[in-house]
Amino acid sequence: MALEITIEDSRWQQAGLEELAHQAVIATLGHFDLDPDECEIALLACDDDQIAELNAEFREKPVATNVLSWPAGDLAASEPGGKPVAPQADFTGEIPLGDIAIAYDTCKREALAAKMPLADHLRHLIVHGVLHLLGYDHISDLDATVMEGLEVEILGNMGLDDPYTVDDSL
């Protein structure tokens, strides 16, 4: 698999980012019968300051967020809730999917607030980011429902709990 990981914040190494990212990417691509060896994704593992700069530059929102995605192509469905266009190989035979950035501070804070292991939250956010690269979004309620359903299914196949279910007993 062509998963290029750039670690700008060393705390990601302690969190086991590389192995967790590979697991999440392989599970997501496999869900769509895409060969991970043919797909290209770049992952930037950074902190809140760096992701806030990226969010300001690309989304005009100068605040930190957990994950950002930049699809290599426009695969979005033509109608809300529709299926995105399947990604295609370029002239090299590779399927360029795009770039993802993930912020340690926000991810850690969210995992603590949700009382879940950072590793589980990280895999969820990478699945989420890869789905964006594949043309899924959550702009409309229908799109959000489709995307969340895919996330739950992919994570469940990885043996992870539904991240959208709140356990009131905690």
Q: What is the dihedral of CA 148, 30, 119, 116, to 10 degrees?
A: 30
Give the pLDDT band of residue 78 (cuts 50, 70, 90). confident
Cβ(104)–Cβ(9) below 8 Å: yes
Tens-digit pLDDT profile for residues 18-36: 999 999 999 999 999 999 9
- Report which DSSP code applies to 111: H
Calculate what percentage of the chain has a pLDDT beyond 70.
96
pTM beyond 0.75, yes or no? yes
Pick from 28, 59, 61: nearest CA to 43 = 28
Calculate what percentage of the chain has a pLDDT beyond 90.
88
Pick from 116, 114, 150, 118: nearest CA to 132 = 150
* Type of residue at 30: G
What mean pLDDT is predicted for residues 29-50? 96
Tokens, residue 102:
């993930």
User: Is residue 43's pLDDT more than 80?
Assistant: yes
pLDDT of residue 169: 47
Tens-digit pLDDT profile for residues 100-110: 999 999 999 99
Say if strands 67-71 and 95-103 run parallel, antiparallel, or are unpaired: antiparallel
CA 79 distance to own-chain centroid: 22
CA-CA distance, 9 to 50, in Å (whole number)? 10
User: Is residue 1's pLDDT more than 90?
Assistant: no
Which residue ranges form the domains of the chain, and what is each CATH number? 2-157 (3.40.390.30)
Tens-digit pLDDT profile for residues 103-131: 999 999 999 999 999 999 999 999 999 99
